[in-house]
Structure 1
Amino acid sequence: MDITTNSLYAQMQSMSLEASGNNITSMPKVNQSSSDFGNILQDAVKSVNELQKDAGAKKTAFELGDRSVTLAETMIASQKAGIAFDATVQVRNKFVEAYKEIMSMPV
């Protein structure tokens, strides 16, 4: 399976946009020369973190009896955060696997 940096970023960002309910067509184009992979990955992790913070805030508000937050909104936010975190863990696992493979190559 061939995974390039831009396609991986595009997949992660489209999942993030789907989870946040934004329109996928408004996704910015990635210019290979102007974007650093570390920055792209950092932005993706920040996006997952924001989803988790939002889910936590909705859970707290619901538990405190805030009538503006429904159970459905709380559960959906929680599921979005969980899916985004699972995707992040899978990406991390692929990086670790690739690193181990590179390190086991003879010099």
Structure 2
Amino acid sequence: MDLQAIRTAYTSGQPKLSGIGGQTGAQRAPQAETGLDAFGKTFEQAIQALNSQQLEADQWAARLAAGEDVDLHQVLIAMEQAEIGFRLALQVRSKLVEAYQEIMRMQV
């Protein structure tokens, strides 16, 4: 028997496989962002949040220094939040540098 005839007979009775949800490869949505892209976006958002905390604390301090009627507690809370956020960012940076150095010390 011819090999092509066997293949035709075998595949003619088989249903065509499709992806999840009945989609074929051409219909699938683009791949989700890679881990590196997701990390980069998360890191960028964290830096932007830290920057906004710093700017908010600066605005509160400037308003207090200008003699505006602001609550001293609110100013101190904003400044402490900015300082804690900055310390957290500094610790994350230190851990990233430490991890990078550890990877560089690895022997391949």
Range class of TM-score, shorter chain = 0.5 to 0.7
Match of residue 55 from structure 1: 57
Deviation at 1:39, TM superposition (A): 1.1
Distance 2:71 2:42 in 1: 34
Aligned to 1:7: none
**1:36 positional shift:** 1.5
Question: Normalising by structure 1, what TM-score?
Answer: 0.66
Query: What is the correspondence of 1:1-107 to structure 2 with a 5 Å cutoff?
Result: 33-34=32-33, 36-67=38-69, 69-107=70-108
Displacement of 1:51: 0.2
TM-score in terms of structure 2 length: 0.66
Q: Deviations over 1:23-76 (max 9, x none)?
A: xxxxxxxxxx44621111010011000000000000000110111x21111000
CA distance in 1, matches of 2:38, 2:53: 23
**How large is the Cα RMSD of the aligned pairs?**
1.1
SS at match of 2:76: helix
| Distance (whole Å) between structure 2 residues aligned to residue 66 and residue 51 of structure 1 | 20
Identity %: 36
Q: Which amino acid aligns with 1:97?
A: E
- For the pair shown, which has the larger CA radius of gyration, 1 or 2? 2
SS in 2 for 1:102: helix
**Alpha-carbon distance in structure 1 between the residues aligned to 2:104 and 2:44:** 24
Greater relative contact order structure (CA < 8 Å, 6+ sep): 1
